[in-house]
Amino acid sequence: MERGIVTPEGVILDFERAGIASRMLARMIDTFILVVALGVFSNLAVALAVASTTFALVIVLILVFALVFLYPMALETIWRGRTVGKYAVGLRVITVEGGPVRLRHSAIRSMMQIIDILITFGGAAVVSALTNAEGQRLGDMAAGTYVVRERQSRSTIAEREVDIPTPWGMHPIVDSLDISSLDISQTALIRSFIIRVPELSDDSRVMLATQLADRVSTSIDAPAPEGLHPETWLACVASRVQQESETPPQSSLPPPPGT
């Protein structure tokens, strides 16, 4: 699957799928943190509920749920796809569109641990990650996410949240686009190009916009309107992708030239 476009300034898109070993290491770190936290809070709960064993058990069960399910859900939502373990190993969860995960994504991933991790002792997660082209476990498939390894030398899309507005006067074109044939890598490439436009020289910007616009037009079987700047066409497609996402990002970019 196509993962990047090389430019004179560097690689536009440089996501590396996280491997099983690195994900297991991140999981082990998070599990160690959870076990320590559970031990501390459980002892405290028992000490506070010495008069009632039932009450102490209830408190411990609540703590188990909070730590096992709320820990990854809260951290991934607040920390842009990272837990302590993922941060230590250099991993991050992103959406299939290449954007940051939100509460909905993290909640689904967290609850799917029941099948992925708890019931099957991690077997379902390993098998699905090995057999899936994007290395997704069942929770990732359900949430529309995948785990990537961050490159320290380059910024990542997930780190740079942007809203790609519909170019002025282009709403009819955007609304008419059928992007169902675009795959994950293509939508991520479009997003990455638009985000990193300020880093490119003028020549590279025009060359890449034309190259990527041609690919996108072929994929969706819809040529760009005559006279429309390739970069504006890409912004229209990216805007349509964002419209179909339930949780669009937050900040915004200036409109591309030619609008």
Angstrom CA distances, 109 to 9, 21, 179, 192, 218, stand at 36, 19, 26, 25, 34
Taking the C-alpha atoms of residue 241 and residue 234, their distance in angstroms, rounded to an integer, is 11
Give the whole-angstrom CA distance, residue 207 versus residue 221: 21
Q: Are 161 and 31 in contact (CB under 8 A)?
A: no
Query: Which among 62, 60, 74 has a CA at the least distance from the CA of 30?
Result: 74
pLDDT, residue 6, reads: 37
pLDDT, residue 157, reads 42
What pLDDT score was predicted for residue 137?
92
Judged by DSSP in three states, 211 sits in helix
Regions of the chain with pLDDT less than 50: 1-13, 152-160, 246-251
Give pLDDT, residue 208.
81
pTM across the whole model: 0.56
pLDDT in the model for residue 259: 52
User: Which pair of tokens denotes residue 31?
Assistant: 């599990």
Q: Return the pLDDT at 84.
A: 94
d(CA 60, CA 78): 25
The rounded distance, in Å, linking the Cα atoms of 63 and 117 is 18
Query: Which pLDDT score, from 0 to 100, does residue 105 have?
Result: 92
**Type of residue at 76:** E
- The three state secondary structure string of 25-43 is HHHHHHHHHHHHHHHHHHH
Query: Which helix or strand (DSSP H or E) is residue 95 part of?
Result: strand 91-95
What is the distance between the terminal CA atoms of the chain, rounded to a whole angstrom? 32
The predicted pLDDT at position 4 comes to 40
Which token pair is 80? 């842009």
Residue located via tokens 């689904």? 108
Question: Of 116, 115, 114, whose CA–CA distance to 129 is shortest?
Answer: 116
pLDDT of residue 156: 44
- Report the pLDDT value the prediction gives residue 95, as an integer from 0 to 100: 79
Nearest to 230 by CA among 246, 215, 210: 210
> What pLDDT does 97 receive?
62
Distances (CA, A) of 121 to 18, 113, 114: 20, 10, 9
Residue 91's closest CA among 140, 147, 27? 147
Residue 157 per-residue DSSP state: G
CA distances from 184 to 20, 78, 162 (A): 20, 24, 18
| Sign of the CA dihedral running 135, 143, 173, 258 | negative
pLDDT of res. 141: 92
